[in-house]
Amino acid sequence: MSDRTIFPGLLDTGREEFLHEFLLRMAGTLPDRPAVIEPAGSERYAVTTYRELELLVRDHMAALDGLGLEIGDRVILEADLSAASIAALLACSALGLTFVPVGTRPPEQRLASIMRTTEPALYLRCPGAGDADIPSGVGLGHIEGPSLTIERAPADRARRRREPTVTDPAYVIFTSGTTGRPKGVVMSHRAVTSFYHGMMAQRLVTPDDRVANTSPLQFDFSLINVGLALGSGAALVTVPPESLRWPRRFVRVLKETGATQVNGVPSIWRPVLRHEQQGLADLDRLRGILFCGEDFPLPELRHLRALLPGVRVTNCYGSTESMACSFEEVPNPLPADVKRLSIGFAHKGAEMLLVDEAGRLIERPGLVGEIVVRSPALFTGYWDDPDATRAALLPDPVSPRSGQVVLRTGDLGHTGQRGEMYFCGRADSQVQIRGNRVELDEVRHRLLEFPGVMAAEVLVLGPADGDRRLSAFVVVSARSTDVGAAELRAHCAQALPTYMLPSELRVLDALPTTPNGKTDRESLVALVSG
Ligand code: ADP
């Protein structure tokens, strides 16, 4: 057992928290309540209580503590979400180590790039992890069941730090990196815990809830769910990522675990809405659904609502650079004339603003600009990428001389009459086609208005300075399989100018998704060019 305490600073007054302090704050008051519920073989589930989770953290700390690691050393975590992997990341937090979750079996080149840039001291593997070679100077450990064993100690490290601080990186999460190189978003303890406090003020769940996480550990949405459940004294249900592909299995896990709140990207519901409607309607303990990461296509949302009329749906907007930013309840019922969902206001302690192309504040409702975020939960920077970091942070548009910076989200939005925000696509999805400005989202929304279209995506293909054309992809409901490209094209032509009409239109069984569950645009590009 480690002689270091998990709560090194609890006796200090007025000090900000570390990640592990926030996540274990219910261990003292609700020790016997379930903290994590995870599948353990057919129809069986393992329950870890708050007290057991805290003990697991202490055991993991003891295993890591003798390795001579320096504060700020990186620990790669190749794992799915489980009580053991949560304990590992909490142990890292308690020892001042920075964890880097990479999911299980990350693509070889991606992992190599992350290893090169973060130069980890230690690599931890959970069951299901791959067996890629780990460079000899990097320590190697395994998490099996509740125990963490070290197979190989890391090479000796220089130790210069004495005291972890809340400004230290708690974790680095690598985003998909549209530039081709994954971008490592560095989040400090202070940023994460202030986000968690902002989220708690929304009162989304109570200790009686069971919050189902459907996101992989390398996607920060899973850490949002861990914070939501453990910070509220609720139980976190870990839905195995592979079950999402099998709607019946997914619904069974939700039923058997008594999930009351299910959080995930919108695409997790698509197969269920197609193939498992009755099972979904029978989830009588379900009270809340929270989605994040992309727009929920309105036809699918209405369908979901029809099957689960009493369930509260929350639209959670934001990016990895601030964990998330807002939580807005979707009106119930959703009026028929609603075309766009509100993303509301930023969580407590943060603000969303709009700026024009020159970085000036936009205050008039209805005018579209870029959403920027002022928040204590902002990331520290991109790992080893000062240029990208500078580009993402702007002087505060309200008080540019203060030295305060805001996050450029790259998202377009406009406000409504109450000041509430509406997301209207990525700034970079505004393209020029034969000299005309086109918002890909406008075309997408037009397609979604066609009866039976459940989801749609629009891409621009061709060189920026050459002949650019639009390609559209739609998914139709199981009952509308006769919807064809010609009808969809005619429907678009009734409302859109010729240069906005897709030159190619394909009806697909499903939109391909990234490991995070968002629409995978690169696969769609490959589909067209291949
Ligand atoms: P997240 O983990 O929140 O999905 P990413 O950094 O992967 O964060 O992606 C952030 C982007 O995803 C945002 O800038 C925005 O374009 C999109 N996004 C996130 N949440 C929503 C939402 N609720 N509605 C529409 N788009 C969203």
Write down the ipTM of this complex.
Answer: 0.97
Give the pLDDT confidence score for residue 230 in this predicted structure. 98
Give the pLDDT confidence score for residue 214 in this predicted structure. 96
CA distance 89 to 98: 8
Give the pLDDT confidence score for residue 101 in this predicted structure. 97
Region of 517 on the Ramachandran plot (φ > 0 left; ψ -120 to 50 alpha; else beta):
left
78 touches ligand 1 (CB under 6 Å) = no
- Output b/e per residue, 483-492; b: 16+ Cβ within 10 A: beeeebbebb
Q: Judge whether residue 530 has pLDDT over 60.
A: yes
Mean per-residue pLDDT, 182-206: 96
Q: Judge whether residue 127 has pLDDT over 50.
A: yes
318 touches ligand 1 (CB under 6 Å) = yes
In the reported structure, the alpha carbon of residue 131 is separated from the centroid of ligand 1 by a whole-number distance in angstroms of 32
316 touches ligand 1 (CB under 6 Å) = yes
**19-24+46-187: which CATH number, 3.40.50.12780, 3.30.530.20, 1.10.10.10, 3.40.50.2300?**
3.40.50.12780
The pair phi, psi for residue 435, each rounded to 5°, is: 85, 0
Pocket test for ligand 1, best of 317, 371, 379, 420 (most atoms within 8 A of CB): 317
CA distance 214 to 202: 21
Mean per-residue pLDDT, 382-407: 96
Q: Which two tokens stand for residue 432?
A: 């020029």
Name the maximum alpha-carbon separation found in the chain.
72
Pocket test for ligand 1, best of 215, 314, 379, 411 (most atoms within 8 A of CB): 411
Instruction: Give the CA angle between residues 491, 492, 495 to the nearest 5°.
Output: 100
pLDDT band at 1 (very low <50, low <70, confident <90, very high): very low
Q: Judge whether residue 267 has pLDDT over 80.
A: yes
Q: Judge whether residue 6 has pLDDT over 70.
A: no
Ligand 1 atom, smallest distance to 220 CA: 2
Q: For 428-447, write each residue's pLDDT tens digit.
A: 887 878 777 788 888 999 99
Mean pLDDT value across the chain: 92
Q: Which two tokens stand for residue 125?
A: 């593997």
**434-529: which CATH number, 3.70.10.10, 3.30.300.30, 3.40.50.1370, 3.30.70.2860?**
3.30.300.30
Give the pLDDT confidence score for residue 434 in this predicted structure. 76
- DSSP 8-state assignment for residue 73: -
Residue 77 β-bridge partners: 101, 124
